[in-house]
Amino acid sequence: MTRVFITIDTEYSSGLVTDLSNQDRMDNFARSIGGITPEGPAGITHKLKLFERHGINAVFFVDPMAALVWGVASIEDILKPILDAGQDVQLHCHTEWLELAGADNPLASKRTGKNLFDFPFEEQCRILEYARDTLMAAGASRPVAFRAGNYGADDNTLRALAQLGLEYDTSHCPALPSGAARISLGSDVLDPVRHLGVIEVPVGSIGTLSGGQRHAQITALTLAEMEAAIRHARDNGRCTFTLVTHSFELINRRKLAVNRIVRRRFEGLCRTLAGMKGITTGNFRDDPPQVAPSEANSSPLPASPVRTGLRYAEQLVSNTLYGAL
């Protein structure tokens, strides 16, 4: 069986902050977490209902850093529906909130930065310790897995995670251009590998016509591409395949409008996973990824001119009708 990990980066948006008031927080929650639209919610509660309907395990990587400005209760509001649904909660972290925190920045230096790799090892340890403890204070179990905001991790991040007792990281995205992330693993590392004290679980990808890779994110691939990538992983004996989405990706956050193309894509993915032979869905709490055997065939799904052309057409329609996130 190949285990597919549906991972949902679940986060308030620092970019949508206006005045840090409680009303500002509630509006951010509606746009970034709840996905509240005139057509109904299309955020995490919508995803949770789909997962329940189709018997899917998922992983919610929850960012607790907004607690720096809105308190732990703001994170409790995120966690409650996820925990009530019995889904897995793991740790996410966007360091952009440190600048908004001002004097409440937990670092003695009050340093700020967009990515974890902007900070030295000791400060990364402090940031991750704060994030872990805040997530637990909001009601989550002790996390065992992590993904950096913006995939902005480096080797010091992995060393910090190992020191704090987190066993898994999934910040390595082989499809990202060089420099976007700084973990010392190449684009050829597509399956779980032990690295610097943790098991690194790469984000899935497919091949591109130019010879590169495209990351397996709900907004980046069509349903046909995701289905083909999962079948390719299964048929080549790969143990895992990791997909990424966000709590807000089914809507345009500024317009508060459902993106019907992406929502239909995500709903189709859930139906596919429920019915595809040789496929199961996993999480880090109950059945975490294992290091891939050395003989595993770790090649991505080869590029297809037909699938690529259909994606270009679908993305053009999506962007024209619904705009950017």
For residue 270, the model assigns a pLDDT of 98
For residue 177, the model assigns a pLDDT of 74
What is the average per-residue pLDDT within 8-32? 97
Using 50, 70 and 90 to split pLDDT, how confident is the model at 275? very high
For residue 178, the model assigns a pLDDT of 64
Using 50, 70 and 90 to split pLDDT, how confident is the model at 298? confident
Is 286's pLDDT higher than 90? yes
Using 50, 70 and 90 to split pLDDT, how confident is the model at 297? low
For residue 219, the enclosing domain spans 2-322
DSSP tag of 204: P
Alpha helices in the chain (DSSP H): 22-29, 44-54, 67-70, 73-84, 97-101, 121-137, 155-164, 223-235, 260-275, 305-322
For residue 265, the model assigns a pLDDT of 97
- Report the distance separating Cα 33 and Cα 26, nearest Å: 10
For residue 181, the model assigns a pLDDT of 75
Contacts of 166 (CB under 8 A, 6+ apart): 91, 128, 132, 143, 144, 145, 146, 198
Q: For the domain that residue 49 is a member of, what is the CATH number?
A: 3.20.20.370
Q: Cα–Cα–Cα angle for 1, 236, 262, nearest 5°?
A: 75
Asked if 61 and 147 count as a contact pair (C-beta separation under 8 A), the reply is yes
**What's the mean per-residue pLDDT of the chain?**
95
What is the average per-residue pLDDT within 298-313? 95
- Its pTM surpasses 0.75: yes
Residues of the chain above pLDDT 90, percent: 93
pLDDT tens digits along 174-183: 998 765 679 9
Contacts of 131 (CB under 8 A, 6+ apart): 63, 64, 65, 91, 93
pLDDT tens digits along 201-236: 999 999 999 999 999 999 999 999 999 999 999 999
Is 263's pLDDT higher than 80? yes
Total number of domains in the chain: 1
For residue 40, the model assigns a pLDDT of 93
- Report the distance separating Cα 197 and Cα 208, nearest Å: 32
Asked if 206 and 303 count as a contact pair (C-beta separation under 8 A), the reply is yes
Residues of the chain above pLDDT 70, percent: 98
Asked if 35 and 251 count as a contact pair (C-beta separation under 8 A), the reply is yes
For residue 147, the model assigns a pLDDT of 98
Is 325's pLDDT higher than 90? no
For residue 323, the model assigns a pLDDT of 81
What is the average per-residue pLDDT within 251-268? 94
Q: Which residues pair with 59 in a beta bridge?
A: 7, 88
Is 155's pLDDT higher than 80? yes
Asked if 16 and 253 count as a contact pair (C-beta separation under 8 A), the reply is yes
